[in-house]
């Protein structure tokens, strides 16, 4: 917002001005923030919405008979249809507020999974899943006697779709897939994959953590049964996220957490559970998080995800070309369809050293396994360096990165 209370930054390139933290300097250098895949910075509108909530609007929801609580409840519930619109869902009832993508996937694995999987059943995942969409399925399979099947990745970081289609079959009860890889940037053909999974009667879950910030998502045209994303990766607060589920499936699933708010009536002998989505939201929810998420989604709507996608696509191409000029640098993840992520290694320099030395220049990137250890193993590395983009990044950020990498490479030559 400017001093007149008007939104600034509705123009591409002016978006950056909406993010106060990006004005900080580190070690007397302007911050170059290239770690948006880990978490995004927050626009002033989100910060203001959370501050306003705690300053003027705070009350518990769904239980007060007084005006303040009614207002808070109405504000909270109004975000459900907003989220539904944001992801193209048919209605608000399938929108469940969770802590983040991780909790959303755990909810599905624990409730749908335990009720539906047994020996002889299979869960099909891809070889590029974040641990959040791998470990819950792996552990569920161990507990239920089902089998987890993993489709391989090609050398450029694309999914081996032919192999995935071969592994899909009548035993596949769940096909869980990452929409955009956080380690490689690969955009998977999820619409095609979901259609194929449906044809064999499998339920589908799409991990949209790295898609929702970069492209318009439409769960209706994707055709999936479950979709998850985290608020903090779409310019909203931490601790809040969304699990969207097909209502008929949600209704058939047992609850996840038990306690207040998820019940209709309780005696010592019996509990009647509340209806969907409340059945899955036990206890006091993260009301301020939901209000902040609402502001973040409104912000992204203002920017226009089609414009964000086009702008970032251009940045990604620019960054890829710049890094391609650095001798000894190998990109990890060069699929034709990518979003937001530049993963790489440099001969003779450990990615953690790259991260530390770039930090000395005010450049924040991520170095490590990115919660995708099997991806690292697939590419024969222990870790990669990862620069990831948000709508506030500029070409200058990528130029600073390339310049820094050139200088660091010289130190190790």
Q: How is the beta sheet containing 384-388 ordered, strand by strand?
A: 329-331, 341-346, 384-388, 366-368
Q: Which is nearer to ligand PMP, 206 or 329 (CB)?
A: 206
Site for ligand PMP, residues 170 to 189, rule: CB under 6 A: 178, 182
Query: Quick one: which segment of 109-117, 129-137, 218-226, 246-254 binds ligand PMP (CB under 6 A)?
Result: 129-137
Q: How far is the CB of 58 from ligand PMP (least distance, A)?
A: 24
DSSP 166: H
Give dist(CA 227, CA 117) in Å, integer. Answer: 20
Residue pair 342/331 in contact by the 8 Å Cβ criterion: yes
Cα 27 from chain centroid?
31
Query: Quick one: which segment of 6-14, 28-36, 77-85, 207-215 binds ligand PMP (CB under 6 A)?
Result: 207-215
- CB count in 10 Å sphere of residue 152: 14
The answer to the question of residue 35 lying near ligand PMP (CB under 6 A) is: no
Among 32, 49, 87, 101, binds ligand PMP (CB under 6 A): 101
Q: Which is nearer to ligand PMP, 178 or 329 (CB)?
A: 178
Query: Quick one: which segment of 14-22, 125-133, 249-257, 359-367 binds ligand PMP (CB under 6 A)?
Result: 125-133
Q: Catalytic one among 141, 224, 303, 371?
A: 371
**Alpha helices (H) in 334-388, listed in sequence order:** 351-359, 373-378
Give dist(CA 109, CA 274) in Å, integer. Answer: 21
Residue pair 383/351 in contact by the 8 Å Cβ criterion: yes
Site for ligand PMP, residues 81 to 100, rule: CB under 6 A: 100
Give dist(CA 103, CA 128) in Å, integer. Answer: 19
Q: How far is the CB of 359 from ligand PMP (least distance, A)?
A: 20
The answer to the question of residue 130 lying near ligand PMP (CB under 6 A) is: yes
The answer to the question of residue 210 lying near ligand PMP (CB under 6 A) is: yes
Residue entry with tokens 């064999």: 200
Q: How far is the CB of 268 from ligand PMP (least distance, A)?
A: 36
371: annotated active-site residue: yes
Supply 286's token pair. 């993260």
What number of chain residues touch ligand PMP (CB under 6 A)?
14
Residue 266, preceding bond cis, omega within 30 degrees?
no
Q: Which is nearer to ligand PMP, 178 or 215 (CB)?
A: 178
Q: How far is the CB of 174 from ligand PMP (least distance, A)?
A: 16
Q: Which is nearer to ligand PMP, 34 or 400 (CB)?
A: 34
Q: Which is nearer to ligand PMP, 62 or 378 (CB)?
A: 378
**Alpha helices (H) in 131-233, listed in sequence order:** 135-144, 161-167, 190-199, 219-222
Q: Which is nearer to ligand PMP, 329 or 341 (CB)?
A: 341
Among 132, 140, 184, 375, binds ligand PMP (CB under 6 A): 132
Q: Which is nearer to ligand PMP, 367 or 408 (CB)?
A: 367
Backbone phi, psi, residue 403, to 5° = -60, -45
Q: How many CA atoms lie within 13 Å of 173's alpha carbon, on the beta-carbon side?
A: 22
Among 41, 209, 388, 393, binds ligand PMP (CB under 6 A): 209
Site for ligand PMP, residues 323 to 382, rule: CB under 6 A: 371
**Residue 39 belongs to what H/E stretch?**
none
Site for ligand PMP, residues 226 to 245, rule: CB under 6 A: 230
List beta partners, residue 267.
Answer: none
Q: Which is nearer to ligand PMP, 230 or 384 (CB)?
A: 230
Query: Quick one: which segment of 128-136, 143-151, 215-223, 294-302 binds ligand PMP (CB under 6 A)?
Result: 128-136
Q: How far is the CB of 209 from ligand PMP (least distance, A)?
A: 3
List beta partners, residue 227.
Answer: 206, 244
Site for ligand PMP, residues 279 to 308, rule: CB under 6 A: none
Could you list the residues that contact ligand PMP (CB under 6 A)? 37, 100-102, 130, 132-133, 178, 182, 207, 209-210, 230, 371
Give me the active site residues, please: 371
């Amino acid at each position: 917002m400017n001093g007149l209370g008007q939104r600034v930054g509705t123009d591409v390139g002016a978006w950056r001005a909406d993010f106060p933290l990006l004005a900080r300097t580190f070690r007397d250098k302007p911050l170059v923030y290239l770690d948006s895949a880990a978490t995004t910075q927050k626009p002033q509108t989100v910060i203001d919405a959370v501050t306003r909530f705690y300053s003027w609007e705070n009350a518990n929801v769904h239980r007060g008979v007084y005006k303040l609580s009614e207002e808070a409840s109405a504000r909270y519930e109004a975000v459900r249809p907003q989220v539904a619109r944001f992801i193209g869902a048919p209605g608000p009832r399938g929108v469940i507020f969770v802590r983040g993508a991780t909790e959303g996937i755990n909810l599905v694995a624990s409730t749908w999974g335990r009720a539906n999987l047994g020996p002889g059943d299979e869960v099909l995942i891809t070889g590029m899943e974040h641990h959040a969409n791998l470990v819950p399925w792996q552990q569920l399979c161990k507990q239920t006697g089902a089998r987890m099947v993993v489709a391989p990745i090609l050398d450029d970081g694309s999914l081996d779709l032919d192999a995935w289609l071969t592994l899909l079959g009548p035993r596949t009860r769940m096909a869980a897939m990452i929409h955009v890889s956080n380690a490689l940037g690969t955009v998977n053909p999820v619409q095609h994959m979901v259609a194929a999974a449906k044809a064999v009667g499998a339920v589908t879950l799409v991990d949209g953590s790295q898609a929702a910030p970069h492209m318009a998502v439409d769960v209706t045209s994707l055709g999936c049964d479950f979709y998850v994303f985290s608020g903090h990766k779409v310019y909203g607060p931490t601790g809040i996220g969304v699990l969207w589920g097909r209502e008929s499936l949600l209704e058939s699933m047992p609850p996840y957490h038990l306690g207040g708010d998820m019940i209709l009536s309780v005696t010592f002998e019996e509990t009647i559970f509340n209806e969907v989505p409340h059945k899955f939201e036990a206890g006091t929810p993260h009301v301020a998080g939901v209000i902040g998420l609402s502001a973040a989604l409104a912000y992204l709507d203002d920017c226009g995800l089609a414009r964000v996608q086009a702008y970032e696509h251009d940045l990604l191409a620019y960054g890829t070309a710049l890094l391609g000029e650095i001798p000894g640098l190998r990109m990890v993840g060069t699929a034709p369809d990518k979003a937001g992520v530049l993963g790489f290694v440099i001969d003779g320099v450990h990615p953690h050293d790259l991260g530390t030395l770039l930090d000395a220049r005010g450049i924040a990137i991520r170095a490590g396994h990115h919660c995708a250890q099997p991806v690292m193993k697939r590419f024969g590395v222990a870790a990669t360096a990862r620069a990831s983009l948000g709508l506030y990044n500029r070409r200058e950020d990528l130029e600073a990165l390339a310049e820094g990498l050139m200088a660091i490479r010289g130190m190790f030559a």
